[in-house]
Amino acid sequence: MTISTATLKDTEQILDILFEIATDLKAKQIIQWQEWLAPSREDLQWINNLIKNDSFYLILNDSTTIGIFSLSDSDQKYWGKSVDNSKYLHSLAVLPSYKKYQFGKNVINLIKADLKTKGYDYLRLDCISSNQKLKNYYSNQEFNEVGLTTIGSHSFTLFEYTI
């Protein structure tokens, strides 16, 4: 497994991955990420901004892109203004056919190790509160639930890992 910084030429591939995962989640009756079935202009701009800031990544197995994630210095939408030395993980997604190989867990462990060497205090993320399986997944990765936030009609659980 390797991690590669995404470029604007990867946008279509990123959207294809998000669409495939959103379709899989919908089939499982999980309401998360349904916006990626028909992304808005704002959603597309969010991805483009992350890519332009070198904050969006591809997860590769050999030379095949099997997943994505973003890692940024702030997340005002879910966490408010950042006042400490934290990174924010979003959109960690591995294609359904690769989930059994624990690529997501390996990515999280790589991020934790990298942030430790760079002197960060926290790795933070959120997930939709109704997805108990995903909440358990992050708890099993040593993240602690530290709060809730509501965006629109959905509640999101905030998770934090102390580096």
pLDDT tens, residue by residue, 93-108: 999 999 899 999 999 9
Query: How many independent structural domains does the chain possess?
Result: 1
Full-model pTM: 0.93
What domain range includes position 58? 2-119
- Asked, for residue 128, whether it belongs to a domain, the answer is no
Nearest 5°: the CA angle 121, 115, 106 is 125
Please report, rounded to a whole number, the percentage of residues in the chain having pLDDT higher than 90.
Answer: 90
| 8 Å CB contact between 105 and 140 | no
**Nearest-CA neighbor of 21 among 104, 126, 79?**
104
How far from 132 is each of 50, 51, 152, CA to CA, in Å? 28, 30, 20
Domain of 61, CATH number, reads 3.40.630.30
Q: How far apart are alpha carbons 18 and 35 in whole angstroms?
A: 9
- Asked, for residue 25, whether it belongs to a domain, the answer is yes
- Asked, for residue 127, whether it belongs to a domain, the answer is no
